[in-house]
Amino acid sequence: MRIGKQDGNLTAIATADADSITVRGKDLCGDLIGKVGFTDYFYFLVTGAMPTDLQRFFTDAVMVAIAEHGLVPSVQAARLTLAAAPEATQGAIAAGILGMGTVVAGSSEVAGRFLADLVAEARESGQTYDEVASAGLAALKAARQKAPGIGHPQHSGGDPRANVLLALADEKGVSGDHVRMLRALAAAAPAAMGRALPINVSGAIPAVMLDAGYPLGAMKGLPILARTASLVAHVYEETQRPIGFIMSNHADKAIDYDGPAGRPPAAE
């Protein structure tokens, strides 16, 4: 059964024969193993080019920034899955990754697309970044949508991870149009949204990485890869110091039932 486009049966990532493995045109055993770090290899796999020193630095920086943030939903999903199926390490890690979406962890992609669209609009329209940012936020407010990249339920006074990433981008000369637009959004938020919304890490990551030359289409891969490292740590700890059923018990106690009353027991 034919489904979807059928031509273009090609890949440029890897191939192998009886004697060698080729990745992006390089010999895996002769050119890569023991000669490049994993960050370089990841960047190379995604883009087909080895990162510059700055691209390597910021890829490392953003993945360290986003890898761990406590018992977030993806971590709880992984720990509870392992508690229920202790033989399924891969299933537990997969459960955590599947719990990463537009609200938690995967929000960098949403913010990145929003920033890229606003930057493109500013370039095409000739409007200032402040004008485009204000209009973009006003449109979101009218649609009753949250503003990607700004605001945080816990770090309401400012996301410390975002502050560090943006300071590093300024220091190393990476800050460009996307960082500029992100800052314009934060500056416009009080007037456009009715309250201050500081820049969050999900906004800082795509702003910095887009300005460093990382592709927008692979943006979600950064938090997925970073959080996978964290999930391995949590799943391993769950095997040593299990808290999955403790979390489950606390959840059961925290939620009250408000459905129809059950039937009383029949009299004997």
Mean pLDDT of 88-99: 94
Mean pLDDT of 71-93: 95
Query: Is pLDDT above 80 for 168?
Result: yes
Which residues, at least 6 apart from 263, have a Cβ–Cβ distance to it below 8 Å? none
pLDDT, residue 99, reads 82
pTM (two decimals): 0.90
Residue type, 126: G
Mean pLDDT of 20-44: 97
Q: For residue 3, what are the β-bridge partners?
A: none
Mean pLDDT of 250-268: 84
pLDDT, residue 7, reads 77
101-157 residue pLDDT tens = 777 777 899 999 999 999 999 999 999 999 999 999 999 999 999 999 998 766 667
pLDDT, residue 107, reads 85
Q: What is the 3-state secondary structure (H, E, C) of 181-209?
A: HHHHHHHHHHHHHCCCCCECHHHHHHHHH
Mean pLDDT score of the chain, rounded to an integer? 93
- Residue 181's CB is within 10 A of a number of other CB atoms, namely 26
- Decide: residue 35, CB within 10 A, 0-12 exposed, 13-18 middle, 19+ buried: exposed
Task: Go through the domains of the chain in sequence order and give each one's CATH number.
Answer: 11-50 (no CATH), 107-218 (1.10.230.10)
- Which has more confidence, 7 or 45? 45
183-221 residue pLDDT tens = 999 999 999 998 889 999 999 999 999 999 999 999 999
> Which of the four pLDDT bands, split at 50, 70 and 90, describes residue 4?
confident
